[in-house]
Structure 1
Amino acid sequence: MRLAFFASGGGSNVGAILDAVDAGRLDAEPALVVTDRPDAGVLDRAEARGLPVAVLSPARFDGEAAFADALLGALREHDADAVALAGYLKKVPDAVVEAFRHRVLNVHPSLLPAFGGAGWYGRRVHQGVLNAGCRVSGATVHLVDGDYDTGPIVLQEAVRVEPGDTAEALAARVLAVEHRIFPAALQLLAHDRLRVEDGRVTITGPGFRAQGSVDEPPRPGQKTSEP
């Protein structure tokens, strides 16, 4: 699987995914980093890794169709066949989502569908959780569809909200979960173990104990204790 990264900020999830590739926990080849911001910190990660980059802001294009064409051109130029949205704050054009149908994954810092949708990102999510008095929050990896944070859920993991939490403290614990479940979800995609039916994801094959588990899927040829 040749994986493109879309990111608008520092790209800590990009770093976690690259670490998983290096450790042999993710069978993917990094192909490209796409950002909408010329000053995004993720560009430093790309440079350190020697990855090609494309800085493509939708404001530079005359409409969504032209923006989509530019994104698709960059993805095709670098032979990407899957996309990881790792803190990407722009809506992915429908034409890109359709061209990479069920091959675009996003990570979101809440238990979707709660605290998701347009405008819910970063600190706003965690402060919203605290303002609502929630006892738990968490992280979600989902397939991307034509709207914000509404695609079929692949993995989720809960994070307990502690007494006296600040948005920053909660964000740090949720981010640690993101760094774990995003590579795990991508590994499932890499091994063609995600099936979508009626808007829900089924994880196929052995080695995945329960819904929301982040046990590493078995690698090719690896034995499992399950029948």
Structure 2
Amino acid sequence: MINIAVLASHNGSGLDTLLKACEDKILNLNIKLVITNNTNAPVLEKAKAYNIQSFLVNSKTNSHPDDTIHQILQENNCQYVILAGYMKKISIKITNDFKVINTHPALLPKYGGEGMYGRFVHEAVINNNEVISGVTIHEVNEEYDEGKIILQKELTLISGETSETLEGKIKALEKIALVEALAKCLK
């Protein structure tokens, strides 16, 4: 069984998706640990509820957070790192030694890069009168949203679409795409 770590800054909804996929026997993974940079992240309570080891690592708790995260991943034999709304840039040391996967709420390469996350992406899509948006699951490298694309899923915007309605649709699509992309990677 493959060990994975989930990195999340807030809710970590990707953790819920992965737990459900494992429970339903769609994915054969061991969610070994959760790492967050946020003391008040709800993902910490989720990890506790599911008996998953969790770590708080940030610049206030550690003088070299990236080195500490790398060490934790190594010590726990994690092969994959899944970013579930993790709001910090991943160091090249981590991306070189582990397969790091991110979900992005747009069809890359459009609407990617620093500062393009969550509602900012959806607002840009709406403001540019796009008719198609979607989700990209990609490997993470040293540049924001430029890693190898694993899978994309698209949807058509409807008349009167708002950033809020689009965000809801994208979040639902992200769950499907994340599971499909991981299944593809694990083959």
Q: How does 1:117-132 map to 2 (within 5 A)?
A: 117-132=113-128
Q: How does 1:156-167 map to 2 (within 5 A)?
A: 156-167=152-163
| Aligned-pair CA distance for 1:189 | 1.9
- Equivalent pairs, count: 186
2:45 — aligned with what? 44
| Aligned-pair CA distance for 1:180 | 0.4
Q: Distance in 1 between matches of 2:89 and 2:59?
A: 9
Q: Distance in 1 between matches of 2:159 and 2:44?
A: 37
| Aligned-pair CA distance for 1:190 | 2.0
1:76 lines up with 2:77 in the alignment: no
1:35 lines up with 2:71 in the alignment: no
| Aligned-pair CA distance for 1:73 | 1.4
Give 3-state SS (helix, strand or coil) of 2:77's partner: coil
1:99 lines up with 2:101 in the alignment: no
Give 3-state SS (helix, strand or coil) of 1:156's partner: strand
Bigger Rg over Cα: 1
RMSD (Å), alpha carbons: 1.2
2:85 — aligned with what? 87
Gap runs ≥5 in structure 2 = none
Calculate the TM-score normalised by the size of structure 1.
Answer: 0.79
Q: How does 1:121-200 map to 2 (within 5 A)?
A: 121-191=117-187
Q: How has the CA–CA distance of structure 1 residues 59 and 134 changed in structure 2, closer, same or farther, with 3 Å as cutoff?
A: farther
| Aligned-pair CA distance for 1:60 | 4.5
1:67 — aligned with what? 65
Q: Distance in 2 between matches of 1:123 and 1:31?
A: 30
Higher relative contact order (CA 8 A, sep 6+): 2
* 1:26 and 1:184 in contact (8 A); partners too: no
Q: Write out per-residue CA displacement over residues 20-71 of structure 1, whole angstroms, 9 at most, x where no aligned residue.
A: 0110101111100011101111112111111001111145444xxx222100
Q: How does 1:105-116 map to 2 (within 5 A)?
A: 105-116=101-112
* 1:2 and 1:30 in contact (8 A); partners too: yes
Gap runs ≥5 in structure 1 = 192-227
Q: Distance in 2 between matches of 1:147 and 1:11?
A: 22
Q: How has the CA–CA distance of structure 1 residues 49 and 189 changed in structure 2, closer, same or farther, with 3 Å as cutoff?
A: same
1:5 — aligned with what? 6
Q: Distance in 2 between matches of 1:58 and 1:142?
A: 26
Give 3-state SS (helix, strand or coil) of 1:147's partner: coil
Amino acid at match of 1:14: L
